[in-house]
């Protein structure tokens, strides 16, 4: 199947993206967040009228950068976010608790942690759900930031939000007992329903590409994580099967939108990571059950293993290869990247592959150790290679 035939099939398939833009089959994209300076981070925390004006300027700068480089689908750089995972910011159902464990971050460039981490996965651990999500007070509109992006962008745009399954990290057997759920799965189903309502609003605003971010799946690649779960009496395989069906079901009934899911392997402060181990640990259960149009996978280090697990991805689901790291300013070699794309194409047809950076450049306020010039060079390389591998 040629790239042109694949694009035609994608455009005709129910749930596929609208062909409004000249390239309805994105080959070059970035995962989400872009670098922000300290003033923008402070403005995101405060959100006064003056701060909102500064944030608007930052979004327009992010749009301009991505459009100048020629990316096929762009984000707003997530510049308005204090954390990439925003549910506790918009749903009054969570509270801080010392009982929630923090992740085992490794690899920071400035000591073990670098600067103190903040956001959804900081040193103090995650907040815990302690009220029913369905009945909780809404603290704002998660989809609202997309309207600004849509107003100023001339390129196809996307919105990123945490996968429903990610919210297992907000479940605490002790702290969540007061919420009245019979199980964490009941809680996750209510989160799914809330995020589906966000998706409906996004579609009303004109969004035709929604990406779920799921670092929880990356964690399950790590044998230490699996061992700890089993020691705690949990069944990783059963949870994985439930979560895959849950995340896929968010898109049930949604038409005219490209569905995507990004499996993150940890994108913390100062280039830190939390998951080692290849995708083979999760691919036989996860990949066939993910009924999404695009699956973004991080392949920027040896920790991710080889491409063999791509054989478990459903036919027709495009795998976006995250081959360029956002954890280091080192610019990858064109020839090395081309060789890796062709290696992946021996497992998954080239027509069902695309290219991106491994993750965002600033998932938390403490950005990765990458300069703006290095960020630009990496995104330029994504576009250049995509045009070479998938011309037209």
Local confidence band at 181 (pLDDT 50, 70, 90 cut-offs): very high
CA 208 to CA 18: how far, in whole Å? 7
Place of tokens 């989809």: 143
Per-residue CA distances from 292 to 211, 213, 336 (Å): 10, 13, 29
Question: Per-residue pLDDT for 20 more than 70?
Answer: no
Contact between residue 199 and residue 254 where contact means Cβ atoms under 8 Å apart: yes
**Angle of helix 223-231 relative to helix 236-249, nearest 10 degrees?**
110
Q: Which positions ≥6 away from 19 have C-beta within 8 Å?
A: 11
Question: Per-residue pLDDT for 221 more than 70?
Answer: yes
Mean pLDDT of 354-368: 86
Half-sphere exposure of 105 (CA within 13 A, CB side): 25
Lowest pLDDT segment from 95-109, 110-124, 227-241:
110-124
pLDDT digits (tens, 9 = 90+) for 280-307: 999 999 999 999 999 999 999 888 899 9
Domain ranges of the chain: 3-389
Mean pLDDT of 187-215: 97
pLDDT digits (tens, 9 = 90+) for 53-104: 999 999 999 999 999 999 999 999 999 998 889 999 999 999 987 555 555 6
Local confidence band at 110 (pLDDT 50, 70, 90 cut-offs): very low
Measured distance between the N- and C-terminal CA atoms of the chain, rounded to whole angstroms? 15
Question: Per-residue pLDDT for 254 more than 60?
Answer: yes
**pLDDT at res. 281:** 94
Lowest pLDDT segment from 3-12, 103-112, 194-203, 216-225:
3-12
Question: Per-residue pLDDT for 177 more than 90?
Answer: no
CA 298 to CA 278: how far, in whole Å? 10
Helix (H) or strand (E) holding 81, with range, is none
Contact between residue 209 and residue 256 where contact means Cβ atoms under 8 Å apart: no
Lowest pLDDT segment from 156-160, 252-256, 275-279, 332-336:
275-279
**pLDDT at res. 389:** 97
CA 177 to CA 189: how far, in whole Å? 17
Residues in the chain: 392
Mean pLDDT of 175-187: 92
Tokens standing for 173? 């057997």
Mean pLDDT of 149-166: 97
Determine how β-strand 94-95 pairs with β-strand 128-129.
antiparallel
Instruction: Give CATH for domain 3-389.
Output: 3.20.20.210
Q: Which residues pair with 40 in a beta bridge?
A: none
**pLDDT at res. 137:** 96
Question: Per-residue pLDDT for 3 more than 70?
Answer: no
Mean pLDDT of 137-148: 96
Question: Per-residue pLDDT for 368 more than 80?
Answer: no
The alpha carbon of 13 is separated from its chain's Cα centroid by a whole number of angstroms, namely: 23
Tokens standing for 133? 């999500």
Mean pLDDT of 121-144: 84
**Angle of helix 236-249 relative to helix 184-204, nearest 10 degrees?**
20
Highest mean pLDDT among 9-18, 168-177, 181-190, 222-231: 181-190
Lowest pLDDT segment from 237-251, 258-272, 354-368, 377-391:
258-272
Mean pLDDT of 371-392: 96
Question: Per-residue pLDDT for 212 more than 70?
Answer: yes
CA 195 to CA 206: how far, in whole Å? 17
Mean pLDDT of the chain: 87
Per-position b or e across 145-163, b if 16+ CB within 10 A of its CB:
bbebbeeebebbbbbbbbb
Phi then psi dihedrals of residue 258, to 5 deg: -80, 125
Place of tokens 């949870």: 239
Question: Per-residue pLDDT for 118 more than 60?
Answer: no
């Amino acid at each position: 199947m040629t790239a042109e035939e694949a694009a035609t099939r994608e455009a005709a398939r129910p749930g596929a993206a609208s062909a409004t833009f000249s390239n309805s089959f994105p080959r070059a994209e970035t995962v989400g967040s872009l670098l922000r300076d300290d003033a923008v981070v402070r403005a995101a925390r405060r959100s006064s009228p003056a701060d909102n004006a500064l944030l608007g300027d930052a979004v327009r700068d992010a749009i301009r950068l991505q459009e100048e480089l020629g990316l096929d689908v762009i984000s707003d750089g997530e510049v308005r976010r204090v954390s990439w995972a925003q549910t506790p910011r918009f749903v009054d159902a969570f509270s801080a608790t010392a009982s929630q464990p923090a992740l085992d971050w490794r690899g920071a460039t400035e000591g073990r942690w670098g600067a103190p981490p903040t956001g959804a996965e900081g040193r103090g651990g995650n907040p815990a759900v302690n009220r029913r999500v369905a009945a909780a007070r809404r603290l704002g509109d998660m989809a609202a930031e997309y309207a600004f992006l849509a107003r100023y962008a001339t390129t196809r745009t996307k919105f990123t939000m945490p996968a429903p399954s990610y919210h297992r990290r907000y479940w605490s057997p002790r702290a969540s007992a007061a919420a009245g759920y019979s199980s964490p799965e009941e809680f996750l189903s209510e989160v799914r329903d809330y995020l589906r309502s966000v998706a409906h609003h996004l579609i009303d605003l004109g969004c035709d590409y929604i990406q779920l971010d799921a670092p929880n799946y990356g964690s399950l690649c790590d044998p230490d994580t699996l061992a700890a779960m089993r020691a705690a009496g949990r069944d990783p395989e059963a949870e994985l099967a439930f979560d895959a069906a849950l995340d896929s079901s968010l898109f049930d009934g949604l038409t005219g939108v490209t569905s995507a899911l990004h499996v993150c392997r940890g994108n913390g402060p100062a280039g830190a990571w939390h998951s080692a181990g290849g995708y083979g640990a999760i691919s036989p259960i996860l990949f066939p059950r993910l009924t999404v149009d695009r699956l973004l996978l991080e392949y920027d280090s040896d920790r991710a293993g080889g491409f063999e697990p791509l054989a478990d991805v459903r036919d027709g689901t495009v795998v976006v290869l995250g081959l360029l790291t956002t954890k280091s300013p080192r610019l990858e070699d064109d020839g090395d990247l081309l060789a890796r794309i062709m290696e992946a194409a021996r497992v998954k047809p080239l027509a069902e592959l695309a290219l991106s950076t491994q993750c965002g450049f600033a998932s938390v306020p403490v950005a990765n150790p990458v300069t703006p010039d290095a960020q630009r060079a990496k995104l330029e390389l994504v576009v250049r290679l995509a045009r070479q591998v998938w011309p037209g």
